Amino acid sequence: MKIYNTLTKQKEEFVPLVEGKVSMYVCGPTVYNYIHIGNARPMIVFDTVRRYLMYKGFDVNYVSNFTDVDDKIIKAANEAGVTASDISQKFIAECKKDMADMNILPATTHPLATQEIDGMLEMIQTLMDKGYAYKVEDGTVYYRTRKFAEYGKLSHKNIDDLEGGHRDIKVTGADAKEDPLDFVLWKPKKEGEISWQSPWCDGRPGWHIECSVMSKKYLGEQIDIHAGGEDLVFPHHENEIAQSEAANGKTFANYWMHNAFLNIDNKKMSKSLGNFFTVREITEKYDPQVLRFFMLNAHYRSPLNFSADLMESAKNSLERILNAAENLRAHMTQEDTLTDADQENLKVREELVQKFCDAMEDDFNTADALAAIFEIVKLANTTVDGASSAYAKELYHTLETLSGICGLKVEAEEEILDSDIEELIQKRQDARKNKDFALADQIRDELLEKGIELKDTREGVKWKRI
C-alpha cells in the first residue's frame, strides 16, 4: 500500500509504527457555523481511507478534533448574545448530524480543545524549558521558529521566505516578538473573551498548540498518519511539527496526507462571491450519499470542481449502483448452488475486486476504485438473469462490501411498521409530558429520517409517510 507523503513529495510504502495498528489524526472544523462543502471533502476522503484500512484488517485509532475556542466562535457568540460554549456546542451537534448523514464513521475520539487546556499548558512549559518558547511582558508566549532547525520541511519553504505563522490574529504585544516568524502559543485574554489561568497570564491557547496536544494525548508522541486539507500545510501543520518534535524529541508523524481544494463552478468558494454552500444546503437538494459519491469521484489530491451539472451526473451514477443492487436482491429468491457458468463469472468478479484494491492501495485512488465498482455493476446486469440465487448473493455481497468501503450504502432500507410508528409517537408524548423536550425532538427527527412526518393537532398527533 502506497501513500503520497507531503513531507517527502513522493509515494511511499505504508509501514505502520505497530504492526496491525494505525494511529491517524485528522484536523477537524472550527465550530462557529454549519460546516460547508469544503469541510466535507477531508471528512469524506479520510473516512474512506480509514474504512479501507479497516477492511485490510488494521485496528485504526482515528482522532479528529473540534476547535471550540477561536476568534470566529467568540465573534459569533458576542453577536448572538450567548457564550462561546453555547455556539460551539450547538454547531458540534449540527456537524455530527451532517457527518452522520454523509455516512462518516464517528471518530474513535472527538477531542475538544477547551477540554485539553492542562495538556497545552504542560507542552508550552516544556517548550519554554527547552528554550523553544519565550514570554513577553504582557504574558504572550511565542515559539522561537528559527530555533527549530527543520522548520519548513513540510511546506518545502525556505524559512527566510516565510511570513509569520499566525492565523490572521492581531496579538497584543506582537511588536515584542524576537522574530517576525515566531508564532503564538498562548495569548492574553481580551475584554469579554473566554479565558483560562496560566503561569504567564489569563488567556487562551494559540490554534496550533491545540492539535499537537490532542494528538499526543490520544495517539502518543509518534503517529502514523496526520491528515487534513492542503490549506493546513502552512502554517498549521508546519507549526504542529515544530512544537511536537521540539517538545517530544521524536518524529511527529510518518505520513502526511492532504486533500486538494474544492472550487465552485471553477471559482474559489467564498461568501463574497455568493458561491458558499453548507452541507445542510446541498443535502436539502441531494441525498447526502450523492455528495459523498461526488467527492470520491476524483483523486483526493486533485482539485475538485463543484457544479449542479456534476452533482446531477453523480446522482445518476449512484443510481446505477443502487439499481444494480436492487436487481441482485430481486434474484436472491431461493437456496441453490452455483452453476459452472456462475463459477466462471465469479472469477471475473475476483479480478474486479483486485482492481478495486489495487486502486485503493495506490494512494487511495477512489476514482479508479469506483470505476472497478461500475465494472462489477456491468457484470451483474449482464449475467444475473438466468443465474442462480447463490450467484446473485455472491455479487450482491461484493457490491455491498466495496461500496461500503467508499461509505456508500446499497442495502434496502427497512420500512417502518405502523405499530412501531404509533409506539414512537406515544414515547414522544410521554417525553413531552415529562418536559423532556430534547427526547421529544429526537424522536420526531428520527421518524422524519424514516420518512414519517408528524403534525400536532387539537385532535392529537397525525402522521403520514412522505
Q: What is the pLDDT of residue 172?
A: 47
Domain residue spans in the chain? 2-259, 308-405, 418-465
Confidence class of residue 452 from pLDDT cuts 50, 70 and 90? confident
Residue 167 pLDDT grade (very low, low, confident, very high; cuts 50, 70, 90): very low
More confident residue, 279 or 422: 279
Give the pLDDT score at 451.
78
- Give mean pLDDT, residues 334-352: 97
Q: What average pLDDT does range 337-364 have in this prediction?
A: 98
Burial of 163 (0-12, 13-18, 19+ CB in 10 A): exposed
Which segments of 406-451 does DSSP mark as H helices, in order? 418-433, 437-449
- Tell me the pLDDT of the chain averaged across its residues: 93
Alpha-carbon Rg for the chain in angstroms: 25
Question: Which of the following CATH numbers is that of domain 2-259: 3.40.50.9100, 3.40.50.11540, 3.40.50.2020, 3.40.50.620?
Answer: 3.40.50.620
**C-beta pairs of 313-321 under 8 Å, 24+ apart in sequence:** 314/290, 315/286, 315/287, 315/290, 317/293, 317/374, 318/287, 318/289, 318/290, 318/293, 318/408, 320/374, 320/377, 321/373, 321/374, 321/377, 321/399, 321/403, 321/408, 321/410
pLDDT of res. 423 = 87
Q: How far apart are CA 361 and CA 373, in angstroms?
A: 15
CATH number for the domain whose boundaries are 308-405: 1.20.120.640
pLDDT for residue 174: 57
pLDDT per residue as tens digits for the range 263-312: 998 888 877 787 889 999 999 999 999 999 999 999 999 999 999 999 99
Distance from chain centroid for Cα 358: 24
Smallest CA-to-CA distance from 209 within 92, 152, 126, 146 is with 126
204-218 pLDDT, tens digit per residue, is 999 999 999 999 999
**Predicted pLDDT of residue 276:** 84
pLDDT at position 381 over 50: yes
